[in-house]
Structure 1
């Protein structure tokens, strides 16, 4: 694959240009390529597609776009190019396969060649880089975030063009660049550097009047557009042209550009930088950025502030290595010397600014007896000495802004590089460079440089495992590489096996004076006692993400107090932000920091404290899950609860957290799954099964069937171990509902029979009624309508007794379906009117959507397709709003049939094919089979018996695999009719399937035929 974004988005497989698809797929791919080989979150892609007004189905739509792209790439031999990560997706693009990679590589080469005094080579690289552009970056993609990123790329392009032209002017090639500069000035009329270059090129070409005209036009444009005069540099250039200043003359012949060596200064030139890193790896982008930013700052005559760059990141990420490497690369630009100080940001051994200033002043030539005693006086002398000197100051491991403020020079002649575990946001005008961990390739490269490339490459799987166990943290990788280098007889796999034991991992990652534990411990000791307690207790949980409310429960504190502590830990780089904002902010550990946190947890917290903290989190989680369920359903409907105590949160906070219930469930999904497992391990049986049944709101609506199965097997075992009859019954009922979802009806019946026995023995009417309702569904699917009706009626009476309006509405609309299937649409209509009123009174949008769907069926039975289409469109809008892709498939199926009855074949086909795609993407075989029936009926209506037979046969196979006799019979009847039509037989041109579709087809069961384990009505 080859990807191009420097112009319109293009993808090539060999020489074939691929059709990426519609707007959403193009925006999705553009986002992935803008951060190629890095994780792009689902939220970021959704925002790029939809802007600020995200629909509830946005995450599902992103998944659909990703699936479409994967199918496209798989069809061209690259099925694994896009992979799913914990927070989003990553597209892996080999070096040189993305035009921005080649552009960055070529411009970096050009800068190095320029600095090495090889201008011809630099120009060649610049020109090759500029030739990659085919227009504006990602031209034609209508997405604000994408275009914002594209604007940055376009800015890089014009900066590169300016740098290239400047070199060519320095080489005396003014005549060759006049035309190009004219076009660029026309395209970018407000870029003063381009105006100046064009003026100089024209002047040197003997076109003085035209050069002055360029200035006059520039001045008119600047005043008209911005209300300001051209900058001082452009004004001086005009004056120089007017006076024919000799300094503007072109060089006679230039082959290299080398500054004359400066005269030896009359003052000491300090060189305090540590040794350069011989095996420096993987940070070229950051080093180039530092060099570029400092060079631009030093060359900008309008700048008065001191250039400051802050390199921030967690312990061990390689901040010092990058700073030292960049400082050595920049050393020639600072002829007055380089100062370096390790400030030891850890609280116990910080180096004070007083001591650093004493050392710096001595290095700058101040005798010891002349150094002032006070901090302010030392800082003033320091600033005075540096006022006219071009000096680079590197301040390593700063604790905070106050730690470095006295060490900053006062003028722009010097520059400062700072490393810190905090971003030091309080330093005005500082440029921030955030350091992250390595990717796999960078990690393996560093291991190879230290331990030997051949040795590491000979065990590729072990090398990848070693990088993973080191958390791709550069310090950990250095230690691992050093240990391998010191033990040439070890295989890489041998070190991997030692690191796999988490309890010994930090012991193993220790070599000489390098140690991960010591590095993290310094940071740990620098935060407050309460922050350390939160840090330790976060390690109690097995989840990888932490919401702020979790911290409140762990510490038994308020939300605001917990939020402050999370910020303290994040500022110290002990945890890192993982997305979200406000009450939905998420945080996570780096893998090795989590290991350290677990060590501190075991050493500093008693088992009783750990268990109590875990219980509070699980109780709070259950409290929020119930609140989300109530908001989604309009009340505490179709639920079975335990007597486990809850840990309540303030009402206003709860309202903010679960304002959008399903997105809240999605965010907390890892905690729900791991929390159920931890509840079982800790012996919290009631919390365990209650959390499991509460989580079905998410598992069913988002089709997380593996999570549903695993959590319920765990909870059922916990309930049995504790002898909890109600918990066992609830889990069997829920697991049976899962079997219905998977269309495994015999297994569902077995679970329901055991569940109803337990509920009945326990005198639990609500549980009994819920199981009866699902057994009725199984009877319906088997064609035993009388038995189904009897079970529904019995369940309805029980729900009336428990006051569950939503469950009653659900039963009524299923009874209405039975009336439709037995030829009584009037009776069905009466029941549906009552069901609609109950669902709206109960506030359940899901059941209301199902009832509306069933009403659409009724209108089809009455041969009122226009009214049916209107009802189906209302139901479709509702399921899309609540984020139910399977319900959307059923609604599209009903809408397609209604359009077909109206003779709108093209629009009918569009709806039915969408229904098939959605059903397949969610794994709902029943929705897929019924939509295939609809496509078969459509083919019959279009006199296309061949395609009709294909669709009917596919539908029949699915119905047979699900063991649904009623639907099998319907599919067989329609298939026979299509075959007769192909033969030109008695039914005549497909009439039999069409008639069958009208007689039985309107009984489009709707998604309400299956019910989630805790009554999650999804369709």
Structure 2
């Protein structure tokens, strides 16, 4: 088999040096793996490792090489990105990493799925694809091994501090400082070629003080650009002095940096004192931005300043190299570089009072809640209370239309979810945490629907459960457990759902209010789960308990709904007399409510029970009565469905002539209802489904 050669593509603007490293990576792509040389080619994707300390430009190098690979055309499915370490240095949960990769493929993992299940979904999704997985800030070999695709058509490009022992068939490409020419060129971007030409020795000394690290050189270049009157030698003289200053000494971070990180600490110590006081304070507060993502709204809330001022300040910090643009140009979204995050946290702890930092976080959360409410309100119809509230907001808090709000929500979703996780874990702002989770849930449902947002909603319900448990909020705890149980049941995890529902029932009953809605919902959910498990006797027993509660509350709609579900469980259990009593009671409740469609559906189910019990004439007579009621509703879909049910019943009873008439009538009704009606008609169990849907809309 002929090896494919990756030819160098055009370099992206701003990328300097790294000719040797890129050549190593190209050679590793072309080189046969160790397993292949041993005669046992692995069925897994190749792994290329870019190893270097933060600040060496390791991620930029990986991005450049990924761009080359895409330009070569061997990976038409693009680059999938995920960061395996959080800004605070803790490993990112595997579930979050896999979901980020799946999102890049446009695939949703099942809500509430465990790590193994999600990894299986990812591997299956990659089987027929040719993609590059760019995994940044890999902490351990174990993190990486679980993500390697089971196909040679995909390539893993990993970025880590050092070699990852335990990952087979991988050779690290070690990244250090830039070469002298690239370092001088980087300084020229801020200092200009004149200052570098006039004093090349100072430029070389400055590059050495920065360890030739791209991140440190970028900061020094930014300082020179902001001080056009200063000579390069001034920057060289200021760096040691800045490092000895008590305030910049806080840049040791947590934990203290290694000697290899000292150049970056010195470069930041040069820049930080030169910033205007408001900009320096905002910089120190940036580690509070969730996931390291910041925009004008986040910055304005953290600093307590106007949005326009925050926007200009962020642009200024980016010009210094303290922030990196994130997303398309012009969106005003930035990322705090991972190499600077621990140093900025050191500044935050040393120079800001804990109470001030907490207040800044609270302001940021309040602003986020307002934006989420606006994001959801723009989906409401004109003239609604939500729209009236939206109209009263300042222009900078409103979205132009639904599409603009959806784009904002999609682009900020990782930061929004990170914000929710952080505030819940912190535990000091639980009231704000509950409001944030609620607002985020509503916005996701408004724009993506409950089913489309199910994976995110599952995580949010778990956060609600954490806060409710910590605060002793039994009703909220019960509601979260019920929501989680519903999502577990929808994905087939019935045993887990049953456990959630039982725990929810205990939490709801602890309020000493047995008539509260959560108790009834828990009872019905437990019964429904037993029904899914085909344990009809237990299902009927729990529906009986729910019915007793509905009678005690005088809730006729709940009585109708539960009687129907009880009748269905008893029908499946083969208890015909008991099932008939339940269906008749359900029909009587629907009559009292004036719901003819639901009553007609109940009669169809009653006819089915008569048929199962061997009462053919009674079954046909009850079915005909259901048709008369359905005709009074004017619902052609319902009329057609019930006629088909009656025709099927007549066929089973051996009365083909009787079946022909309602079947022909159903076909005519479907033709009148339109081309989509036939695919939407459900004959099996239609009556039962009808009465549930009708009762649920009250």
Normalised to the residue count of structure 2, the TM-score between the two structures is 0.48
| Larger-Rg structure | 1
* Larger relative contact order, structure 1 or 2 (CA cutoff 8 Å, min sep 6): 2
What's the TM-score, normalizing by structure 1? 0.35
